[in-house]
Amino acid sequence: MLRTQFLCAAAVIVAATGASAQAPQSGSHNPATKDSKVHHVAAPAKGHSSFTEDQAKGRLAKAGYTDVSGLAKTDDGAWQGKAMKGSQAVTVTLDYKGNVTAR
């Protein structure tokens, strides 16, 4: 009787663990980013970005930049290009963590 209860409990635990492992993940598809929020920082983090160009454009748009153009990877691995923030033209950089730097 006790053995049957133990086996039933173990089966429930295994089933629950398997179900949670299959659940869709929310947030960014970039494991280097902690969340999907865009943060403005003073200087980009060094490291090669796994963002695609389209993902970088989307992240910059989410941060409020429009007319993003000329995106290219820097020697440090970040995306850099031109964009508009309101009526001001700026140079934007998106690092591998998803942080934005504008100057």
Whole-model pTM above 0.95?
Answer: no
* pLDDT recorded at residue 54: 96
The verdict on residue 55 lying in a domain is: yes
More confident residue, 48 or 83: 83
The verdict on residue 18 lying in a domain is: no
The verdict on residue 23 lying in a domain is: no
The verdict on residue 26 lying in a domain is: no
Indicate the number of domains in the chain. Answer: 1
* Residue numbers of the domain that contains 56: 38-103
- Kindly give, in sequence order, each residue whose CB lies less than 8 Å from that of residue 100, ignoring residues fewer than 6 positions away: 38, 39, 40, 41, 59, 60, 63, 65, 92, 93, 94
> Tens of pLDDT along 1-16?
655 565 555 555 555 5
> Tens of pLDDT along 14-54?
555 554 444 444 444 455 555 566 767 777 778 888 899 99
Q: What is the distance between the alpha carbons of residues 82 and 38, in angstroms, rounded to a whole number?
A: 18
